[in-house]
Amino acid sequence: MIKFLVYVAIILTVVAVGYLVRVFELAQALKGKKQDVTERDNKLMGRTMLGLLVFLFGFTIWQLVEYSDKMLPEAASISGAETDALLDFNFAIIWIVFVLTQFLLFWFSYKYYGRDNNRATYFPHSNKLEMIWTVIPAIVLAVIIIFGLKSWNNITAPAAAESTIVQLYSKQFDWTARYAGKDNVLGESNYKLISGSNELGMDANSPEGKDDIVVKNELHLPVNKEVEFKFNSRDVIHSAYFPHFRAQMNCVPGMTTMFHFTPTITTAEMRQKTGNEAFDYILLCNKICGNSHYNMQMTIIVETEEEYNKWLSEKKPFLAPTETAEVK
């Protein structure tokens, strides 16, 4: 709260100074004094620009140091590490361009401040400069695009045959996970079969679906094993967002989208790394899908394969026959 008030005070101070300068200018005009800008005024403005340059860089560095702990922890998947590398590459380019352009902007404002009896050079066009600032950005953008496409193709290409298959079914405003069971094949489903007791529309006649397991609230994943996700939506476009794994995919009604990644850090290990015993991975919806969009979340637990298999073995297949009491 105190920081917010400080920022408000700074903004109001800047606004007040602007109005005072304007009042001074109007007062001078009413007195009939001509407002000529002198070389001394220009030199003062040039030096002021140098001071602003120092303040700009200093404030930017302070923000990086002050708020660095608010960033996400290290990526918890193999593809996530690639995504972070791509992001760091982009940041490096942005920083180089930012420092270079801002330094030149403020330095030139000082070096070439208006002087008496000095006229600016008329410089309308240069083919060489046009080529430089066209070709260089084109090359840099091509590298970024190729790098990004490589990462995208890695996570959307067909997954390995032994990967764990999980369906994530979205609807306003929750997630449902379906595990493929021992055969590692999801059973058939149809929207016409959706009911209050079968919200995924699973087909009871599909042999592959007899061992499928449906869970809510928690999504369990084995560490160091590839997981293939298949995404579906019942109503509107949702977006499955795994921030700690640096992965996201739209869930589109009427079609199945998919990607895969390999978790590399268990929940317990990440709690140690972050020093936060209450830490949990989370699945979010990253599309504004309605009034309760903010509440569309699901906890993700990454654990060892032994722990994962034990948890899964305790779950009953959704289409398993229910036990009924013997009628006498």
The H or E element spanning position 303 is strand 297-303
Q: Tens of pLDDT along the chain (328 residues)?
A: 677 787 888 888 888 888 887 777 777 777 766 666 777 888 888 888 899 999 999 999 999 888 888 888 899 999 999 999 999 999 999 999 999 999 999 998 888 888 888 887 788 888 998 999 899 999 999 999 999 999 899 899 988 888 999 999 999 999 999 999 888 889 998 888 988 888 888 988 888 888 899 999 899 999 999 999 999 999 999 999 999 999 999 999 999 999 999 999 999 999 999 899 999 999 999 999 999 999 999 999 999 999 999 999 888 988 876 554 444 3
Positive or negative, the CA dihedral 316, 317, 319, 323 is negative
Helix axes 127-156, 78-111, angle to 10 degrees: 160
Could you please report the per-residue DSSP string of 107-152?
HHHHHT---TT---------HHHHHHHHHHHHHHHHHHHHHHHHHH
User: Could you read off the pLDDT of 242-265 as tens digits, one per residue?
Assistant: 999 999 999 999 999 999 999 999
Residue 111 has what pLDDT? 87
Asked if residues 231 and 164 have their Cβ atoms less than 8 Å apart, the reply is no
Taking the C-alpha atoms of residue 22 and residue 197, their distance in angstroms, rounded to an integer, is: 70
The reported pLDDT for the residue numbered 181 is 84
Residue 38 pLDDT: 79
| 238 vs 296: CA distance, rounded Å | 10
Cα angle 281, 166, 76 (rounded to 5 degrees) comes to 30
As a whole number of angstroms, the distance between CA 284 and CA 282 comes to: 6
- Domains belonging to the chain, first-starting first, are 164-313 (2.60.40.420)
Amino acid of residue 21: V
Q: How far apart are CA 42 and CA 51, in angstroms?
A: 14
Query: CA 232, 238, 240 angle in degrees (round to 5)?
Result: 75
Cis amide bond preceding 123, omega within 30? no
State residue 143's pLDDT score.
Answer: 92
CA distance 259 to 151: 12
pLDDT (tens digit per residue) in 179-202: 998 888 899 988 889 888 888 889
First-last CA distance in the chain? 71
For residue 246, which amino acid is it?
A: R
H/E stretch holding 229: strand 227-233
Give the Å distances, CA to CA, from 109 to 57, 120, 126, 166: 16, 13, 22, 59
pLDDT of residue 322: 57
Rounded Cα gap, residues 202 and 219, in angstroms: 19
Residue 198 contacts residue 286 (beta carbons within 8 Å)? no
Alpha carbon of 147 to those of 116, 128, 143, 259: distances in Å? 52, 29, 6, 18
